[in-house]
């Protein structure tokens, strides 16, 4: 019986410490040091929250840049990849469908010039960034549909390009939400 009470007290103490106090402490530190990120990096347009810079949102309108494909249909509460292996027929069919979409949306683009991340979903299904080659392939479509010049859009891509982490990890990327919000602000749509 003594061991039972000891175990029960141990469980209660650690449940309070690790289940309540520790999360509150970490949340407080996050809000203090990184308030924008801790609050979800919410983007507001005309007084309304339209999305987050941290989570991709599906868009099919031709005058905006499109994010990577999502295995979870951009559902923030269901983050995850497809977990399909490279020889799985379902993955091959998904990539073929995505290739057709990219070719249809961006006439004149050759299959060999399409970066893999443009047709394969990200590991989270919610990747908010696209590669520079992905953005450049979409640039002519966005220019035609938005009425903005290619040089202006190329300047936006350059302006919103995020370099490698600490200069060595990853590839330069562009946040789709930031890029699209710059277009929305410019066009007023």
Number of neighbouring beta carbons within 10 Å of residue 55? 19
- Bridge partner list, 45: 48
Residue 99 near residue 93 (C-beta atoms within 8 A)? no
Q: Which two tokens stand for residue 146?
A: 């938005």
The span from the CA of 111 to the CA of 48, in Å, is: 39
Q: What is the pLDDT of residue 150?
A: 94
Range of the domain at 95: 41-187
| Pair 96, 115 in one domain | yes
Exposure of 105 in the CB half-sphere (CA atoms within 13 A): 24
Residue 44 near residue 73 (C-beta atoms within 8 A)? no
| Pair 5, 48 in one domain | no
- Residues contacting residue 67 through CB under 8 Å, at least 6 positions apart: 56, 57, 58, 59, 74, 127, 128, 130, 176
Is 80 exceeded by the pLDDT of residue 184? Answer: yes
Is 90 exceeded by the pLDDT of residue 176? Answer: yes
Confidence band for 31, pLDDT divided at 50, 70 and 90: very high
Report the helix count and the strand count for the chain, using DSSP H and E.
7, 5
| Pair 14, 49 in one domain | no
Q: What is the pLDDT of residues 90-127, one digit of tens each?
A: 889 999 999 999 999 998 898 889 998 899 887 777 88
Residues 183-188 have a mean pLDDT of 88
| Pair 170, 143 in one domain | yes
| Pair 133, 152 in one domain | yes
Domains identified in the chain, total number: 2
CA dist list (Å): 172 to 53, 59, 165? 16, 22, 9
The span from the CA of 69 to the CA of 13, in Å, is: 45
Report which DSSP code applies to 160.
T
| Pair 62, 29 in one domain | no
Q: What is the pLDDT of residue 49?
A: 86
| Pair 81, 3 in one domain | no
Confidence band for 63, pLDDT divided at 50, 70 and 90: very high
Q: Which residue has the tokens 């949102």?
A: 57
| Pair 35, 45 in one domain | no
Q: What is the pLDDT of residue 151?
A: 94
């Amino acid at each position: 019986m003594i061991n039972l009470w000891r175990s029960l007290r141990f469980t209660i103490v650690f449940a309070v410490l690790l289940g309540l106090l520790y999360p509150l402490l970490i949340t407080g530190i996050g809000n203090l040091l990184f308030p924008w990120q801790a609050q979800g990096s919410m983007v507001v347009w005309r007084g309304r929250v339209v999305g987050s810079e941290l989570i991709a949102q599906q868009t099919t309108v031709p005058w905006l840049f499109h994010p990577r494909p999502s295995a979870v249909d951009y559902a923030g509460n269901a983050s995850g990849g497809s977990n399909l292996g490279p020889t799985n027929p379902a993955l091959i069919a998904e990539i073929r469908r995505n290739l057709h979409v990219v070719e249809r949306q961006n006439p004149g683009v050759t299959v060999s010039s399409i970066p893999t991340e443009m047709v394969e979903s990200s590991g989270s299904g919610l990747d908010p960034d696209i590669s520079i080659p992905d953005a450049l392939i979409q640039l002519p479509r966005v220019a035609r549909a938005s009425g903005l010049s290619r040089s202006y859009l190329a300047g936006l891509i350059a302006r919103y390009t995020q370099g490698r982490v600490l200069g060595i990890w990853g590839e330069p990327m562009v946040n789709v939400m930031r890029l699209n919000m710059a277009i929305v602000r410019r066009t007023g749509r």
